[in-house]
């Protein structure tokens, strides 16, 4: 696993095109959840004297990597850009990775950290009325589960939700899985492996916090306005579009966009930063937030 994580980091080295201020916070959660760090990306204006009494919008962004990889410098490109261009504080939880930490540890950690940030919003100078929750791939899955938990537990209140090629199901036999199962970056075999690392048993594949597509319309009702982005050549495309349709049936406002010719996580990788899809996708996210 250490070698796989090293290879993942080399695939997508950190990018520093977007200046911002990074600080780390450690959150001591319940005994079974341990202590978890979160990175806070602050816009440079945060330390300007003329802004010292200002509150800033918040984006709670959860990284992908199949619940097994990522979180450090490797995945900071988009959080930095969102912080820099929207003048928001981006909170980035470093949830415990699998297989060392199995489901539902990451789900509970992501929700608990968000609650702790809300409790201390004044300390961080955060305007929590602006809360946007988002994530990519497995992080998109955790963003959905965070939204579901916020609804079930009556808070925190999320204004908008950003889903970048999220994992929404455990069915590996959709048309997009069969058509793009290998040769388009994320493969069917890799997704099967990720689920094996993340889950304790097969029965968990039917739980809505693993496969949100299995949620009822009633369970999805009143989720936040959602922006959904996915590449044309992504094994997760069909399940994501199915999830969007369920959200619409639940009367959730959804804008779903399929980017022609794009692969999985086309917005996240440094080597795709200058592609039209990456630029347009990022601009769409920023416009949605602002």
Residue holding tokens 């692969």?
Answer: 263
On whether the CB atoms of residues 236 and 165 are closer than 8 A, the answer is yes
Question: Alpha-carbon distance 204 to 94, whole Å?
Answer: 23
Each residue's pLDDT tens digit in the chain (290 positions)? 888 888 777 766 656 778 899 999 999 998 789 999 999 999 999 988 887 889 999 999 999 999 999 887 777 889 999 999 999 999 999 999 999 999 999 999 999 999 999 999 999 999 999 999 999 999 999 999 999 999 999 999 999 999 999 999 999 999 999 999 888 889 999 999 999 999 999 999 999 999 999 999 999 999 999 999 999 999 999 999 999 999 999 999 999 999 999 999 999 888 888 899 999 999 999 999 99
DSSP string, 192-236: HHHHHHH-SSGGGGGSTTT-GGGS-HHHHTTPPEEEEEEEEE-TT
- Domain boundaries 1-289, corresponding CATH code: 3.40.50.1820
Residue holding tokens 């299995």?
Answer: 214
Question: Alpha-carbon distance 166 to 138, whole Å?
Answer: 6
Residues 6+ apart with CB under 8 A from 64: 70, 75, 135, 136, 137, 138, 139, 140, 265, 268
Other Cβ atoms closer than 10 A to 253:
12
Residues identified as active-site: 137, 234, 264
The encoded tokens of residue 167 equal 């994992």
pTM here? Answer: 0.95
Question: Alpha-carbon distance 16 to 18, whole Å?
Answer: 5
On whether the CB atoms of residues 115 and 91 are closer than 8 A, the answer is no
Domain positions in the chain are 1-289
Other Cβ atoms closer than 10 A to 160:
17
């Amino acid at each position: 696993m250490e070698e796989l994580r090293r290879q993942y980091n080399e695939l997508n080295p950190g990018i520093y095109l977007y200046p911002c201020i990074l600080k780390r916070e450690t959150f001591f959660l319940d005994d079974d959840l341990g202590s978890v760090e979160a990175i806070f990306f602050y816009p440079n204006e945060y330390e300007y004297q003329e802004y010292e009494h200002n509150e800033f919008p918040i984006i709670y962004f959860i990284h992908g990597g199949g619940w097994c990889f990522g979180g450090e410098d490797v995945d900071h490109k988009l959080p930095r850009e969102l912080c820099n261009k929207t003048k928001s504080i981006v909170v980035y939880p470093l949830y415990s990775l699998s297989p060392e930490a199995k489901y539902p540890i990451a789900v509970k950690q992501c929700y608990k950290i968000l609650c702790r940030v809300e409790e201390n919003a004044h300390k961080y100078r955060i305007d929590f009325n602006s809360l946007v929750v988002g994530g990519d791939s497995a992080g998109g899955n955790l963003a959905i589960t965070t939204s579901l938990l916020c609804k079930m537990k009556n808070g925190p209140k999320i204004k908008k939700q950003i889903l970048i090629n999220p994992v929404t199901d455990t069915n590996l036999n959709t048309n997009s899985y069969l058509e793009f199962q290998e040769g388009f970056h994320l493969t069917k075999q890799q997704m099967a492996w990720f689920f094996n690392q993340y889950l304790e048993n097969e029965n968990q594949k039917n739980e809505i916090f693993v496969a949100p597509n299995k949620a009822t319309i009633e369970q999805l009702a009143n989720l936040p306005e959602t922006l959904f982005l996915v590449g044309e050549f992504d094994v997760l495309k069909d399940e994501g579009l199915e999830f969007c349709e369920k959200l619409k049936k639940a009367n959730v406002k959804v804008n779903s966009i399929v980017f022609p010719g794009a692969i999985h996580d086309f917005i996240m990788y440094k080597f795709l930063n200058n592609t039209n899809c990456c630029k347009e996708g990022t601009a769409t996210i920023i416009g949605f937030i602002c």
